[in-house]
Amino acid sequence: MLMENMKGIDAQSGDELECENAFEYGRATQLRSRLAGARHAFTTRNVNMDCAAQLDRKASPEVGDLVLARVVAIGHHTKLESPEGRRQQMYVGDEIVVAYGHRYAPDQFEAEVPATQEECHLVAGGGVASSMLAKHARTRNPTRIQPIGLLADWKGNVLNLRRFTKDVESVSARSNACKVVVIVGTSMNAGKTTTAAKLIHGLKRAGLRVGAAKVTGTGSGGDIWSMIDAGARTALDFTDLGHATTAGVPLPQLVEDSLKLVSTVSRENDVAVIEVADGLLQEETAGLLKSRAFASVVDHVVLAAGDAMGAAYGHSWLRQNCLPVSLIAGRVSSSPLSIRETEAATGLKVATLAELSDSELAPSFCFATALRGCGLNSLASYA
């Protein structure tokens, strides 16, 4: 009789488990159907949405967490960039899938990840959820979004971008034969991306194999697609390593991930063109460039500047931090008078867009010997 009762209990437990599994499966199926109808952001492009099985409506969001949210009010960002790069028009009531992240953009927003799943803001068109702290005077109020829940797997683990990264080379795998050219700027919109694209195009025209990466910034596809269109054989960015943005990323992690990207795009290429976002005074940018580990792999630095004064200060900053700045470019190159002032102040050539694209000149910008600052052509005294 006892054995029969035990069998009955086992059978009941099995039935309950089957019902529970069926319920969970049904709930996951409903969620995936809901996600299929939502608008997905560029920042989620590497995510396997089949891993989403439920919504966690209570957990505190963390950087990189994926969230299903509803558009409450349209503000500065009216469109959401898709994983494929299409600008999707948003409407109030639309459901979107984006990632939490901090934002540092002097010409738009400063924002941080909120402590709860409260109403917050879409602070980047590439798909970044955050709470605005400040904005540029000419920027509209941000688009408001209401989180519905964090995406989670069968076990209840919240899905985070760091779980979905591309295979990249180890830091030690970088080829020393590949020249590494880093593009930095005096500020946002100084001309870094255009400079990178024109240089890549010139190198390709010269018959060289070019890899490219953007190692810091805010998730958006425009820069890497610009690099691909210009002729880069390989193009990656920080979103491939699980970052919606790099604002607030601890420096050791940022340096390690940047070096992995450099190693990967250097493989089987002659030149790696690396773009670093924002201006030299931005915290993560400054920290990365001052890093001994990162600086040691850099062969040339091209400074994109908006004007002669910015170029002069940027040149001095790079030299003081032992970086081999060898060329000035960017918006300053649009004006012959600004070129004259900049060359007089820095002693460096200012390259126009036409010169960067020139098949004879472009290689000379990458293969000539560049001296580091600090009064020494080495990193011996560099902390």
| pLDDT tens digits along 308-354 | 999 999 999 999 999 999 999 999 999 999 999 999 999 999 999 99
Q: Note the pLDDT of residue 174.
A: 61
pLDDT at 22 over 90: no
Measured CA to CA, the distance from residue 322 to residue 290 in angstroms comes to 8
**Where residue 12 falls among pLDDT bands split at 50, 70, 90?**
very low
Measured CA to CA, the distance from residue 230 to residue 132 in angstroms comes to 35
For helices 336-346 and 308-320, give the axis angle rounded to 10 degrees.
30
**Where residue 275 falls among pLDDT bands split at 50, 70, 90?**
very high
Q: Note the pLDDT of residue 368.
A: 78
pLDDT at 11 over 60: no
Domains contained in the chain, CATH given: 35-163 (no CATH), 171-367 (3.40.50.300)
Q: pLDDT tens digit string along 115-170?
A: 999 999 999 999 999 999 999 999 999 999 999 999 999 999 999 999 999 988 77
Task: Say what the pTM is.
Answer: 0.89
**In this structure, what token pair is assigned to residue 305?**
């500047």
Buried b (16+ CB within 10 A) or exposed e, 326-340: bbbbbbbbeeeebbe
Q: pLDDT tens digit string along 91-111?
A: 999 999 999 999 999 999 999
Residue 31's nearest CA partner among 139, 172, 149 is 149
Contact by Cβ (8 Å): 357, 201: yes
Q: pLDDT tens digit string along 181-193?
A: 999 999 989 999 9
124 Cβ contact list (under 8 Å, min separation 6) = 77, 101, 103, 105, 108, 109, 218, 219, 220, 245
**Where residue 367 falls among pLDDT bands split at 50, 70, 90?**
confident
CA 313 to chain centre: 26
What does the pLDDT average to over 81-86? 96
SS (H, E, C) the chain: CHHHHHHHHHHHHHHHHHHHHHHHHHHHHHHHHHHHHCEECHHHCCCCHHHCCEEECCCCCCCCEEEEEEEEECCCCCEEECCCCCEEECCCCCEEEEEECCEECCCCEEEECCCCCCCEEEEECCCEEEEEEEECCCCCCCEEEEEEEEEECCCCCECEHHHCCCCCCCHHHCCCCCEEEEEEECCCCCCHHHHHHHHHHHHHHCCCCEEEEECCCECCCHHHHHHHHHCCCEEEEHHHHCCCECCCCCHHHHHHHHHHHHHHHHCCCCEEEEECCCCCCCHHHHHHHHCHHHHCCCCEEEEECCCHHHHHHHHHHHHHCCCCEEEEECHHHHCHHHHHHHHHHHCCCECCHHHHCCCCHHHHHHHCCCCCCCCCCCCCCCC
Q: Note the pLDDT of residue 114.
A: 98
Contact by Cβ (8 Å): 301, 323: yes
What does the pLDDT average to over 12-40? 73
Q: pLDDT tens digit string along 221-255?
A: 999 999 999 999 999 999 999 999 999 999 999 99
The mean pLDDT of the chain is 91
**In this structure, what token pair is assigned to residue 92?**
């109030």
- pLDDT above 90 covers a percentage of the chain that reads 85
